[in-house]
Amino acid sequence: MNKFSLNSVDTLKNKKSNSLMYQYTFWYVVDLLLVVLLMGITLIVAVSLFLFQDLKNDITAVQPDLVRITNKPSNQWEKQINYLLYPEFTKFNVEMKDTKTGEIAHSQGWEKIISNDNNKFHYLNIKNFLIIKDQGLFYKHQISFGQNGKIIIFAKLSVITDFIKLMVNILIVTTLLALIFGISFILFITKRNIRPLLSITTAVNEIKSISNLSGGVPVPEKPQELTDLGTSINRLLFQLHLQIEREKGFVSDASHELRTPLAALRGHINLIKRRGKAHPEILEQSLTAIDQESERMQNLIHQLLAMARSEHYELELVDVNMSELVRDVLRTYWKEDRNITLELNIDKDIHLNGDVGQLSQILIILVENAQKYTESGGKVIVELTKNNKEVHLTVKDTGIGIPKEHLDKIFHRFYRVHKDRSRQTGGSGLGLSIAKQLVAFNGGDISVKSEVGKGSEFKVIFKK
């Protein structure tokens, strides 16, 4: 077997040992064995103690009668002992000895149990418990009488040992039966319960291309955990599908937008090559057009890079004085050459927790957009107010307005309402899309109201 085959076998073994079915079965076996072992030991110990206590009670009951026998002549001891023990106390073997006179008496069968033969004696001497070869477990109890006498009782614990053997056999049989039926039941239940999970896994493995993302995975009706898992996976796949489609559309639109100025540049360059030397006016016009198209392409690339960076940008949330920020941005970026009036309604000391750079970019986009679509002599109004736990930033203009049917699309990438005017002003259709994304990053929401011929109003609401 080559190295690849060995690795494959090891991989299969690891997958099997890590499977849910294997884990359930393994822990069922471990738990069952622990429970059976604990219950068995508890039951054996409890019943054995009860039986042993019963045995000690019998020894206590027979003890006075044995002592009374010692008051009789020694030649009657053995007869009296047997008369006392049989048939009620046959489990007792008794030796009665007077060390002064040397008299010894034994109960019937003593010689078969107690012998001086070393091959027969095997002691496990723990607090008067001992094991005698071929006879079993005994309990030794000694009683003194007179000045020199002693009575030794060997009580056979066969009832206890037989009970322990019986319990062990019962536990072994019941454990084996529980393992057989329990493992079969666990495998059946586990297979039934994880069948939906296997279906989900199979469906996910079959998704080998982007085109399959919209298909999703099967969602089982039960158990609830797998229903939630399937629903979450489908939601994730759907969002991923939308994101990929957006990215594909973005690349396609960006390529289209870049193709137009590039084609215009090449056209003017070819025109200069053909007729530029003979016609200076054509040279001047083409250079002006090249400059405009290159500026438009530069703005487009700048916005594309800004959008790409915003998707991977790490926010630096700080306490921002929005009142000062709005004034600083307008002071820097407001264009005075359009003959458009700027009106400010800014409340003092309005603070917001956000990213300074992104908040500035939002305002720049909205103000530039308002100036771009407002005719000379018009007005742009910037308002900053506080309403309970919200900060409202509003940019209004008296420009050309937006038709109602376009309002729900103006935040889409590369969407332009007035394409001809956008081309003249250098618009790419990305500004409002970027603004909406930045507003969302800072925990806000942006909305628009507009009327054709009267102007537009963009409102951004931030949570404080």
* pLDDT tens digit sequence for 408-434: 888 877 676 655 444 444 455 677 888
Q: How far apart are CA 461 and CA 464, in angstroms?
A: 10
- Judged against a pLDDT cut of 70, whether residue 296 lies above it is answered with no
Residue 95 phi, psi (nearest 5): -125, 130
DSSP-assigned letter for residue 387: E
Specify whether the CB–CB gap between 21 and 190 falls below 8 A.
Answer: yes
33-39: long-range contacts, CB 8 A cutoff, minimum separation 24:
33/175, 36/171, 36/174, 36/175, 36/178
Pair of tokens at residue 295:
């500026």
pLDDT score of 5:
46
Across the range 94-103, mean pLDDT stands at 77
Q: What angle do CA 188, 189, 191 make, to 5 degrees?
A: 65
pLDDT score of 122:
46
Q: Is 206 helix (H, G, I), strand (E, B) or coil?
A: coil
- Judged against a pLDDT cut of 70, whether residue 155 lies above it is answered with yes
Across the range 18-31, mean pLDDT stands at 75
pLDDT score of 263:
76
- Judged against a pLDDT cut of 90, whether residue 147 lies above it is answered with no
pLDDT score of 395:
95
Across the range 369-378, mean pLDDT stands at 89
Q: How far apart are CA 69 and CA 66, in angstroms?
A: 5
Which of 29, 103, 58, 429 shows the shortest CA–CA distance to 258? 429
pLDDT score of 12:
42
- Judged against a pLDDT cut of 50, whether residue 118 lies above it is answered with no
Strand order in the sheet with 379-387: 341-346, 379-387, 390-397, 455-463, 444-451
Least confident of 114-118, 207-211, 219-223, 306-310: 114-118
Where is pLDDT greater, at 333 or 38?
38
Specify whether the CB–CB gap between 52 and 148 falls below 8 A.
Answer: no
b/e string for 404-434 if b means 16 or more Cβ within 10 A? eeeeeebbbbbbbbbeeebbeeebbbbbbbb
DSSP-assigned letter for residue 415: -
- Judged against a pLDDT cut of 70, whether residue 257 lies above it is answered with no
% of the chain residues with pLDDT over 90: 12
17 falls in which pLDDT band (50, 70, 90)? low
- Judged against a pLDDT cut of 70, whether residue 172 lies above it is answered with yes
Q: Is 58 helix (H, G, I), strand (E, B) or coil?
A: helix
- Judged against a pLDDT cut of 60, whether residue 9 lies above it is answered with no
E runs forming strands in 246-389 = 318-321, 341-346, 351-354, 379-387
If you write DSSP's letter for every residue of 432-444 in order, what string do you get? HHHHHHHHHHTTE
Q: Is the dihedral of CA 244, 248, 249, 254 positive or negative?
A: positive
Listed in sequence order, the residues at least 6 apart from 16 whose beta carbon sits closer than 8 Å to its beta carbon are 22
Burial of 154 (0-12, 13-18, 19+ CB in 10 A): buried
Q: How far apart are CA 200 and CA 232, in angstroms?
A: 12
Q: Is 425 helix (H, G, I), strand (E, B) or coil?
A: helix
Which helix H or strand E contains 129, and what residues bound it? strand 129-132
Domains of the chain: 316-463 (3.30.565.10)
% of the chain residues with pLDDT over 70: 80
Pair of tokens at residue 220:
């089982």
**pLDDT, mean over the chain:** 79
Region at 136 (left for phi over 0; alpha for psi -120 to 50; beta for the rest): left
Least confident of 186-200, 292-306, 363-377: 292-306
121 falls in which pLDDT band (50, 70, 90)? very low
Q: Quick count: other Cβ atoms within 10 Å of Cβ 400? A: 19
Strands 379-387 and 341-346: parallel
Listed in sequence order, the residues at least 6 apart from 270 whose beta carbon sits closer than 8 Å to its beta carbon are none
Pair of tokens at residue 431:
């500004």
pLDDT score of 11:
47
pTM higher than 0.75? no
Q: How far apart are CA 5 and CA 300, in angstroms?
A: 56
Where is pLDDT greater, at 464 or 453?
453
347 falls in which pLDDT band (50, 70, 90)? very high
